[in-house]
Structure 1
Amino acid sequence: PDNHPGNCWPFPGSQGHVLIKLPVAIFPKAVTINHGIEAAAYHADSTSSAPKDFAVYGLQEEDDEKGTLLGEFIFIPGQAPGQTFQLENEQSGFIKYVRLQVLSNWGHREYTCVYQFRLHGDPAR
Structure 2
Amino acid sequence: MITRIVKDVIKNSSESETRLIPNYALLSSGARIIPHLTSSEYVGYPDEFVKRQVLKMFNIKPTQSKPAKIVLTSNNEAGNCFCFTGTHGQLAIHLSHNIKVVSITYEHLNPTLALDPDDMRRAPKTFEIVGISVDSQEKYDEYFQLGSFDYKLDGPPAQSFEINLQNLGLLPVMKAVILKIMGNWGDDELTCLYQVKVHGYVSKKI
TM-score, normalized by the shorter chain, greater than 0.5? yes
Distance 2:126 2:143 in 1: 18
Q: 102, 110, 114: which one pairs with 2:181?
A: 102
Q: 76, 82, 86: which one pairs with 2:152?
A: 76
| Per-residue deviation, residues 74-95 of structure 1 (Å, max 9, x unmatched) | 0011311110011124231211
Distance 2:202 2:95 in 1: 10
Distance 2:183 2:168 in 1: 24
Q: 80, 86, 93: which one pairs with 2:172?
A: 93
- Greater relative contact order (Cα < 8 A, sep 6+): 1
Structure 2 counterpart of 1:34, which letter? E
Q: By how many angstroms is 1:66 displaced?
A: 5.6
Q: Which residue of 1 aligns with 2:126?
A: 53
- Number of paired residues? 124
Distance 2:75 2:95 in 1: 21
Matched, 1:34 2:107: yes
Indicate how the Cα distance of structure 1 residues 14 and 66 shifts in structure 2: closer, same or farther if over 3 A, else same.
farther
Which consecutive residues of structure 1, in runs of 5 or more, have no partner in the other structure? none
Indicate how the Cα distance of structure 1 residues 74 and 66 shifts in structure 2: closer, same or farther if over 3 A, else same.
farther
Distance 2:198 2:153 in 1: 20
Maintained 8 Å contact 2:108/2:158: yes
Structure 1 counterpart of 2:98, which letter? A
Structure 2 counterpart of 1:80, which letter? P
Q: SS at the partner of 2:97?
A: strand
Q: Identity over aligned residues, as a percent?
A: 31
Structure 1 counterpart of 2:168, which letter? E
- Provide the TM-score with structure 1 as the length reference: 0.89
Q: By how many angstroms is 1:65 displaced?
A: 3.6
Greater C-alpha Rg: 2
- Provide the TM-score with structure 2 as the length reference: 0.56
Q: By how many angstroms is 1:47 displaced?
A: 2.1
| Per-residue deviation, residues 74-117 of structure 1 (Å, max 9, x unmatched) | 00113111100111242312111111111110110111111001
Distance 1:78 1:115 in 2: 16
Distance 2:80 2:94 in 1: 22
Distance 1:29 1:17 in 2: 20
